[in-house]
Amino acid sequence: MAGRMKSKNYRSEQRNTRYLIYAVLVIMAVIWLFPIVWIVLTSFRQEGGAFVPYIIPKSFTLSNYTKLIADVSGSYPFVRWFLNTLFVAICSCILSTFITIAMAYSLSRLRFKLRRPFLKVALVLNMFPGFMSMIAVYYILKALDLTQSLFALILIYSAGAALGFYVAKGFFDTIPMALDESAMIDGANKWQIFTKITIPLSKPIIVYTALMAFMGPWMDFIFAKVIMGDDVKHYTVAIGLYSMMNKTTANSLFMSFTAGCVLIAIPITLLFIYMQKYYVEGITSGSVK
């Protein structure tokens, strides 16, 4: 009888603990989702003004989106900014993924002189934020006459890709060396091993690396703002939307600004939903195993 009572009390405590965890998760989800819901609702608000004493709009409209998209050649060409960002993100994603995967594979599989010191130096360099070199990078680009160009952004986002190899290297370290040795016995060279064995087994980390490389240019503001200056036609969406919120236009363009925030979030959201499985596998396999 006493054993049954203890078992019943234990199950009751487990149930209460589970309910408490669910309650905390629900509260955290509401806090996390509230700003997103507010931005989406504001993007459809018909009443003007940046600040109103209510959350749910009194009337809804699509004019904020049409106004934003229709301004092709005006002061705020959102469509051009969007295409600029997409072009830079895709190019940087391809280059950064190739550089990172090649670097990680080389350091994981090849043994050469000064390999360990290089790994230590790369680890130390990764501890410093990239914007510390912002001024130096700007003057180098200025000397090369590359400022205010999309090519400069692609160059910057791709140039530092090699230092982000540690997660990918951790993934490659989990692939047994016996596979490489068996392939070499059969006459395969390093390139054939990399392309025909390692790459097919590394889809999770490749997708993870590509996703991270795509998100960087899409969300970056600091480097893009410094390099682009006042060249409006070459702005990315981060700089463009920021430029809409000045003293004279913040009140009148606030709804269009929120509409732009919703539009730029759609590609990243869809990309994460589609690649979520590979994204999680890339993190767990590369850093936990």
Residue range 170-222, pLDDT digits in tens: 888 888 888 888 888 888 888 888 888 888 888 888 888 888 888 888 888 88
Helix or strand or coil: residue 8? helix
Is the pLDDT at 3 greater than 70? The verdict is no
- Report if residue 113 sits inside a domain: yes
- State the total domains in the chain: 1
**What pLDDT is attached to residue 24?**
92
Report if residue 32 sits inside a domain.
Answer: no
* Confidence bin at 286 (pLDDT 50/70/90): very low
Q: Is residue 154 part of a domain?
A: yes
Take residue 276 and report the two structure tokens written for it: 């979520």
- pLDDT, average across residues 260-289: 70
- The mean pLDDT value for 262-286 works out to 72
pLDDT at residue 1 in the model: 53
Q: What percent of the chain has pLDDT over 70?
A: 91
Q: Which of the residue ranges 7-16, 140-149, 223-232 would you say has the lowest mean pLDDT?
A: 7-16
Average pLDDT, whole number, for the chain?
A: 81
Is 4 a member of any domain? no
- Asked whether residue 268 is domain-assigned, the answer is yes
Classified as helix, coil or strand, 1 is coil
Domain for residue 29, yes or no? no
pLDDT tens readout for residues 128-145: 777 777 888 888 888 888
pLDDT for the residue 250:
76
Confidence at residue 87, expressed as pLDDT on a 0 to 100 scale: 92
Cα 70 from Cα 62, distance rounded (Å): 12
CA distances from 224 to 92, 128, 156, 197, 264 (A): 13, 19, 10, 38, 16
| Residues 94-129 pLDDT 10s | 998 888 888 888 888 878 788 888 888 887 877 777
Q: Report d(CA 71, CA 84) in Å as an integer.
A: 15
3-state secondary structure 66-128: HHHHHCCCCCCCHHHHHHHHHHHHHHHHHHHHHHHHHHHHHHHHCCCCCHHHHHHHHHHHCCC
Q: What is the domain extent for residue 251?
A: 63-287
The domain that holds 189 is classified in CATH as: 1.10.3720.10
d(Cα 60, Cα 43) in Å, to the nearest integer? 9
Lowest-pLDDT choice from 8-17, 143-152, 205-214, 259-268: 8-17
Residue 242 falls inside a structural domain: yes
58-91: per-residue pLDDT in tens?
Answer: 888 888 888 888 876 677 888 888 999 999 999 9
* Bridge partners, 60 (sequence order): 45
Q: Identify the pLDDT of residue 27.
A: 93
Q: What is the pLDDT of residue 244?
A: 85
Domain membership flag for residue 35 = no
